[in-house]
Amino acid sequence: MFFHVKELQYNAKPSKPDPVYAKKLQEILGGQYGEMSVMMQYLFQGWNCRGNEKYRDMLLDIGTEEIAHVEMIATMIAQLLDGAPVNDQEDAAMDPAIGAVLGGMNPQHAIVNGLGAQPNDSAGYPWNARYTIASGNLLADFRANLNAETQGRLQVVRLYEMTTDPGVRDMLSFLIARDKMHQNQWMAAIEELEESQGAVVPSSFSPEHEISDVAYSFMNFSQGEESKTGRWARGSSMDGKAHFNYVQQPEANGQKPQLNPSPPYMHGTPPISDGGPAEMNH
* Residues annotated in a binding site: 35, 57, 61, 66, 69, 149, 182, 220, 222, 224
CA angle 245, 248, 250 (to 5 degrees): 95
Which ranges constitute the DSSP H helices of 31-137? 35-47, 53-81, 88-93, 96-101, 107-111
Binding site for Mn(2+), by residue number, is: 35, 66, 69, 149, 182
Identity at 119, one-letter amino acid code: P
Which of 156, 189, 136 is closest to 34 using CA atoms?
A: 156
Which of 176, 21, 18 is closest to 102 using CA atoms?
A: 21
Cis before residue 261, ω within 30 degrees of 0? no
Residue 228 exposure: Cα atoms within 13 Å on the Cβ side: 12
Which ranges constitute the DSSP H helices of the chain? 19-25, 27-30, 35-47, 53-81, 88-93, 96-101, 107-111, 138-161, 166-197
